[in-house]
Amino acid sequence: MSEPESCLQEKVRGGTKMNPGDLFGHIGSIVGSLMFIWAMFKQFFPYQVVNQIEKHSQRLVTYVYPYIQITFHEFTGERLMRSEAYSAIENYLSSKASTQAKRLKGDIGKNNQSLVLSMDDHEEVSDEFNGVKLWWASGKHISKAQSTVSFHHPMSDERRYYKLTFHKRNRDVILGTYLNYVMKEGKAIKVKNRQRKLYTNSGSYWSHVVFEHPATFQTLAMDPEEKEMIIDDLITFSKSGGFYARIGRAWKRGYLLYGPPGTGKSTMIAAMANLLGYDLYDLELTAVKDNTELRKLLIETSSKSIIVIEDIDCSLDLTGQRRKKKEKEEKEQEQEKNHTGQNQQGMQEKDVKSSQVTLSGLLNFIDGLWSACAGERLIVFTTNYVEKLDPALVRKGRMDLHIELSYCGFEAFKLLAKNYLNIDAHHLFGTISELLKEIKITPAEVAEHLMPKSASGDAEIYLKSLIQALELTKMQEKVEHGPHWTEN
Ligand SMILES: Nc1ncnc2c1ncn2[C@@H]1O[C@H](COP(=O)(O)OP(=O)(O)OP(=O)(O)O)[C@@H](O)[C@H]1O
Ligand SMILES: [Mg+2]
């Protein structure tokens, strides 16, 4: 059975099922079917005729037609801005269109990789929500006034819309929850499909590149339970907009990632961005001139983003004095050279050497920013030395979750072996498990040993190389602790 036929029959069935024995139900279904056929064929009639027929039939239909229709136009307002609701519906319907509609439109998505399909004009798809059946139809108006003058831009006078049809007895469900659901889902799909960016600051300006880091939580080697807990925490956060609004708190969450170099802190941040589909702002504090500049940078960050300050201990010291002041001054002098001639820099460069970002500036600005800006933001600090940080910076409420990334345990090793060598088990695993209990080695070092060096490389070679390295470290430790070990 063809798709329009099946939709029509669903409509007729829907009418009788919803209101058995009700004459209006039948009439309404028939009128619904006629309207659907009309929607398919009206494009072949002149615009004036269509307009007149629709005007008069509308009045008649409202008497007998038990369905309610809502239209969502693509462009709204005097300045004809593209409607957010329309684009959310378009995204929401894209998956339904690809399974139900017979005529589809295809385009390259914003991430420039995947093909995005949407329903073509005058198509219809059905949807179901909490047991309620409803229909979406796409259509377009061709403006009469513009069609005569828009010779050079034949598409510019087309106004597309989506029309939602549902039985009037479901009014509460549709208006109360369904439409909110569609908006939310549609926006979520948009976020998932959009091209994400990695922003870095040079002085008070953000510049960005496309963010395409392949790290995911699946490939991140760490304790599986802790990993689950972090994923849960992130997903709960990203879905809690309503909760944060209800309790009157800004929608933000702070993470402190700490651990030795090479344990996966930066990798985890990339995985977080990939999981949530957020942009990344990598804030280089040592390149920020003062608190004002810092505030400006943070206010410019967009919603759904992760603001990262790596090695926070190297950027600020406990009194707020810059540890890397000298380096900063050198950097700024260089910038000064580069920007000579750009008059907008002139003002800022005047007091370059006297100003600096302080710890209290950072704290104030974080707290202040969150209450001023809408939308969700994560802030992530990383450090190799958690004990060196000022308690004010890492107190609860500011940094909600402290995550330790540590040396490679056996579970983490197994995941690396799976990722790098595609093996779940091996007779050398037992030896490695024992060695990992005694020897501290970072996931980065393990990964280095497991990295295939030739196309035909045997897993055993790489595992043996890892065992050798572990045994060597063990020997070295023995030598270092020699006197204690040999005393007895
Ligand atoms: N837990 C891990 N799981 C998977 N790969 C890891 C892990 N830790 C490190 N690696 C690998 O080691 C490399 C270095 O890790 P990463 O840059 O994330 O470490 P880091 O903790 O940020 O170190 P630093 O403190 O020096 O910034 C990564 O490119 C990644 O391939
Ligand atoms: Mg790092």
CATH number at residue 266: 3.40.50.300
In a domain, 345, yes or no: no
- Phi, psi angle pair for 7, to nearest 5°: -65, -45
Same domain flag for 373 and 446 = no
Q: Comparing 413 with 190, which gets the higher pLDDT?
A: 413
Domain with 458 in it: 410-481
CA of 421 to the centre of ligand 1 (A): 18
Verify that 202 and 77 share a domain, yes or no.
no
Q: Which ligand is nearest to the Cα of residue 412, counting in written order?
A: 1
Q: Are residues 78 and 178 in the same domain?
A: yes
The number of the ligand nearest the C-alpha atom of 216 reads 1
Give pLDDT tens digits for 446-471: 999 999 877 667 889 999 999 999 99
Mark whether 248 and 378 lie in a shared domain: yes
- Ligand 1 touching residue 215 (CB < 6 A): no
Do 173 and 207 fall into the same domain?
no
Q: What is the 3-state secondary structure (H, E, C) of 172-198?
A: HHHHHHHHHHHHHHHHHHHHHHCCCEE
Kindly state if the Cβ of 267 falls inside 6 Å of ligand 1.
Answer: yes
Between 243 and 109, the more confident residue is 243
- Whether residue 160 sits in one domain with residue 17: yes
| Domain shared by 34 and 167, yes or no | yes
Instruction: Confirm whether 347 is domain-assigned.
Output: no
Nearest atom of ligand 1 to the alpha carbon of 416: 4
Same domain? For 203 and 116 the reply is: no
Ligand 1, residues 267, 380, 406: which to mutate, most atoms within 8 A of Cβ?
267
CA 466 from chain centre, in angstroms, equals: 37
Question: In this predicted model, which residue has the larger pLDDT, 188 or 235?
Answer: 235
Does pTM surpass 0.90? Answer: no
The beta strands (E) that lie in 47-143 are given as 67-73, 75-76, 81-82, 104-108, 115-119, 124-129, 132-142
215's CB contacts (< 8 A; 6+ apart) are 267, 268, 270, 271, 274
Which of 72-76, 125-129, 349-353 shows the lowest mean pLDDT across its residues? 349-353
Asked if residue 224 has its Cβ within 6 Å of ligand 1, the reply is: no
> Whose atoms come closest to the Cα of 227: which ligand?
1
* The predicted structure's pLDDT at residue 237: 94
Q: Are residues 395 and 415 in the same domain?
A: no
Q: Atom 12 (ligand 1): residue with closest C-alpha?
A: 444
Are residues 83 and 8 part of one domain? yes
In a domain, 344, yes or no: no
Give pLDDT tens digits for 17-31. 333 334 445 665 676
Distance 367 CA to ligand 2 centre (A): 25
* H-run or E-run covering 201: strand 197-202
pLDDT one-digit tens code per residue, 339-373: 544 444 443 444 344 337 888 888 876 776 655 66
Least confident residue range of 41-50, 118-127, 273-282: 41-50
- 110 or 358, which is more confident? 358
Q: Which residue has the tokens 């279904």?
A: 29
CA 103 – ligand 1 centroid, Å: 47
Sign of CA dihedral 245, 250, 251, 256: negative
- Quote the CA–CA distance of 273 and 117 in Å, as a whole number: 25
pLDDT of residue 395: 78
Q: Which atom of ligand 1 is nearest the CA belonging to 408?
A: 1
How far apart are the CA of 265 and the centre of ligand 2, in A? 5
Clarify whether residues 255 and 383 are in a common domain.
yes
Model-level ipTM above the cut of 0.90: yes
Ligand 1 near 261 CB (within 6 A): yes
Instruction: Give the number of the atom of ligand 1 that is nearest the alpha carbon of residue 221.
Output: 3
Q: Where are the beta strands (DSSP E) in 2-45?
A: none
Q: What is the mean pLDDT of residues 157-167?
A: 88
165 DSSP β-pair partners: 69, 135
CA-closest candidate to residue 439, choices 471, 412, 411: 471
Total domains in the fold of the chain = 3
Q: Residue 109's pLDDT is what?
A: 61
- Point out the domain boundary residue: 193, 220, 252: 193
Residue 346 included in any domain: no
Ligand 1 proximity of 220 Cβ (cutoff 6 Å): yes
Same domain, 132 and 265: no
C-alpha to C-alpha distance for 349 and 357, rounded to whole angstroms: 15
CA of 331 to the centre of ligand 2 (A): 21
Is residue 212 a part of any domain in this protein? yes
